[in-house]
Amino acid sequence: MNSEQISIYDAAAVDRIRAEMKFEPRRLRALRTAFFKKFLGAEAAIAELPSEVREAFAARVQFHPLTIVEADDSEIDGATKLVARTAAGYLIETVIMRTGTGRVSLCLSSQVGCAAACQFCATGQMGVAKSLSATEILDQIVLANERLRAEQRQARNIVFMGMGEPFHNEAALYDAVSALLAPELFHHPSRYILVSTVGIPDAMVRCARRFLDINLALSLHSARQDVRERLIPLAAKFPLGDLRTAIAQVNQIQQNTVMIEYLMLASVNDSPQDACELAGWLAGLDVHVNLIPYNPIAGSPGLRSTERPERDAFAAILREAGFVTTIRYSLGADIAAACGQLVQSENRAIAKEQATAGAH
Ligand code: SF4
């Protein structure tokens, strides 16, 4: 965006441009429908305006803050990983997941890198933590859907589960969710939006209060404080007791069931004893447990996924205790869909370059 341009997401500024250019409000509404709801692309959206203002409007309004630099289609399942460059030069990943039933989910990034520094995650090991703007978050949805149009599909589930801890970028997250829900912009149904956190109790409660109908997921990965802290260094700041209280509060505020994400790691968190402790910790909460097989990353050679018999035994203990428990298969193992793997080294290099430039 050059310094004179404004963003298509800045509704008030775009309205002012319309007033200056003196074209009818309905033409701007048609542009927004084409761009945010039908995903026809910027050119087709601009074609909704009177011909005499199109060029001037296009020069003043920026539609895409991101540029796609790579798209990798999985050969074994329905995942596509999009890699996009931000204006600051960093790379982020967005994953399109197509299920056998024809539904499409989008996994969005909210940051470049992540300060949570989880042991099992390439993003956490990037050594960078920069927040994306709301428009950079939203542009991932537009760009992915523009691509899906060729298949006559649209993303139904919007999942904040890619690079970054969404609650470390809370203001932009809320702006993005508000835009997603806004009738004049995306008008996306709230029940198909999910925010996944590694566990920041106050923010979970704030988010539930602000958006009563969107879904929340907690990446728990262990009901033992010491194991959790080993896997997720950030967990040292947020004891399990506070997290449990937060889920209980979310259950009171929202009707929706809270998702509990649990990465299955062999000999780390997958024993029958772990399952019993988890069941005890969850007792009385309205939750749905998702057990997730682990996609290994180069930075953590010591971690491997739980074998199927142990995983099934773990699930059986939870089901026996009365919890709805599903096993989620990670899509895109062959394209490194686990967040951050593809762009880790390049982002490190960019951060280093920028730090060096700043030091001179
Ligand atoms: S798993 Fe999520 S919270 Fe943990 S480091 Fe990776 S992106 Fe951050």
Most confident option among 26-35, 82-91, 118-127: 26-35
Q: Which atom of ligand 1 is nearest to the CA of 122?
A: 6
Residue 360 in domain: no
- Residue 359 lies inside a defined structural domain of this protein: no
Does a structural domain hold residue 357? no
Structure tokens at 272: 């029958």
How many domains does the chain contain in total? 2
How far apart CA 354 and CA 69 sit, in angstroms, is: 20
93 belongs to the catalytic site: yes
Question: Are residues 131 and 264 both part of a single domain?
Answer: yes
Here the CATH number for the domain that contains residue 240 is 3.20.20.70
Confidence (pLDDT) at 343: 72
Residue whose CB lies within 8 A of the most ligand 1 atoms, among 230, 297, 339, for a mutation test: 339
Does 339 participate in catalysis according to the annotation? yes
- Residue 187 in domain: yes
Polymer length of the chain: 360
Percent of the chain at pLDDT above 70? 94
pLDDT for residue 347? 79
246 and 117 in one domain?
Answer: yes
CA 104 to ligand 1 center in whole angstroms: 23
74 in the same domain as 168: yes
Measured in Å, residue 124 CA sits from the centre of ligand 1 at 5
Question: Does one domain contain both 95 and 16?
Answer: no
CB-based contacts of 151, cutoff 8 Å, min separation 6: none
State whether 15 and 118 are in the same domain: no
Residue in 118, 141, 145 with CA at minimum distance from that of residue 129: 118
Confidence category of residue 14, pLDDT binned at 50, 70, 90 = very high
pLDDT for position 51: 97
In this predicted structure, the answer to whether residue 159 has a pLDDT above a threshold of 90 is yes
Residue 152 in domain: yes
- Tens digits of residue pLDDT in 278-301: 999 999 999 999 999 888 777 788
Tokens encoding 193: 């939006």
Interatomic CA distance for residues 317 and 325, integer angstroms = 10
- Tell whether the model's pLDDT for residue 128 goes beyond 80: no
* Whole-angstrom distance, CA of residue 86 vs CA of residue 350: 12
34/101 same-domain check: no
pLDDT at 299: 76
Task: Tell me what the mean pLDDT of segment 230-244 comes to.
Answer: 96
The reply to whether 197 and 331 lie within a common domain is yes
Q: Using the predicted structure, report yes or no on whether residue 337 has a pLDDT greater than 60.
A: no
The pLDDT of residue 4 is above 80: no
Q: Looking at the structure, do residues 35 and 76 belong to the same domain, yes or no?
A: no
> Does 216 have pLDDT greater than 60?
yes
Whether 46 and 78 share a structural domain:
no
90 and 203 co-located in one domain: yes
Q: What is the mean pLDDT of the chain?
A: 92
| Shared domain check, 37 and 140 | no
More confident residue, 240 or 118: 240
Could you identify the atom of ligand 1 that is nearest to the CA of residue 162?
7
Catalytic residue among 107, 114, 207, 339: 339
Compute the average pLDDT of residues 91-117.
91
| Boundaries of domain holding 21 | 6-62
Residues with CB under 6 A from ligand 1: 114, 116-118, 121, 123-124, 163-165, 198, 339
Instruction: State the CB neighbour count (10 A cutoff) for residue 272.
Output: 12
Strand partners, 98: 104
Tell which of 62, 89, 105 closes a domain: 62
SS3 per residue for the chain: CCCCCEECCCHHHHHHHHHHHCCCHHHHHHHHHHHHHCCCCHHHHHCCCCHHHHHHHHHHEECCCCEEEEEEECCCCCEEEEEEECCCCCEEEEEEEECCCCCEEEECCCEEECCCCCCCCCCCCCCCEEECCHHHHHHHHHHHHHHHHHHCCCCCEEEECCCCCHHHHHHHHHHHHHHHHCCCCCCCCHHHEEEEECCCHHHHHHHHHHCCCCEEEEECCCCCHHHHHHHCHHHHHCCHHHHHHHHHHHHHHCCCCEEEEEEEECCCCCCHHHHHHHHHHHCCCCEEEEEEECCCCCCCCCCCECCHHHHHHHHHHHHHCCCEEEECCCCCHHHCCCCCCCCHHHHHHHHHHHHHHHHC
Structural domain includes residue 19: yes
- For the segment 231-247, the average pLDDT, to the nearest whole number, is 96
Q: Spell out the residues 6+ positions from residue 111 whose beta carbon is closer than 8 angstroms to its own.
A: 129, 130, 131, 132, 163, 164, 165, 168, 169
Give the pLDDT confidence score for residue 298 in this predicted structure.
Answer: 77
The predicted structure's pLDDT at residue 342: 62
Phi then psi for residue 265, to 5 deg, are -115, 120
pLDDT at 44: 98
Average pLDDT for residues 45-72, to the nearest whole number? 97
Task: State the average pLDDT over residues 318-325.
Answer: 98
For residues 195 and 288, membership in a common domain is answered with yes
Catalytic residue chosen out of the listed positions 48, 93, 136, 261: 93
Query: In which band, very low, low, confident or very high, does the pLDDT at 101 lie, cut at 50, 70 and 90?
Result: confident
pLDDT at 154: 96
Report d(CA 199, CA 212) in Å as an integer: 18
- Residue 325 pairs in a beta bridge with 289
Asked whether residue 109 carries a pLDDT value surpassing 90, the answer given is yes
**What token pair was written down for 341?**
């793997």
- Measure 259 CA to ligand 1 centroid, in angstroms: 16
What distance in angstroms lies between residue 212's CA and the mean position of ligand 1's atoms? 25
For helices 170-181 and 134-148, the axis angle rounded to 10 degrees is 40
Taking residues 220-225, report their average pLDDT. Answer: 97
| Mean pLDDT on 313-325 | 98
Cα–Cα dist 257/288, whole Å: 7
Per the domain annotation, does 1 fall within a domain? no
Residue 211 lies in a domain: yes
Q: Which of 112, 196, 198 to mutate to test the pocket of ligand 1 (most atoms within 8 A of CB)?
A: 198
Please tell me the least confidently modeled range out of 43-52, 244-253, 330-339. Answer: 330-339
Given a contact cutoff of 8 angstroms between Cβ atoms, the answer to whether 313 and 272 are in contact is yes
Average pLDDT for residues 223-232, to the nearest whole number? Answer: 96
Q: How far is the CA of 196 from the centre of ligand 1 (A)?
A: 10
Q: For the beta carbon of residue 41, count every other beta carbon within 10 angstroms.
A: 18
Q: What is the pTM of this model?
A: 0.93
Here the tokens at position 345 are 């080294």
Nearest CA to ligand 1 atom 3: 165
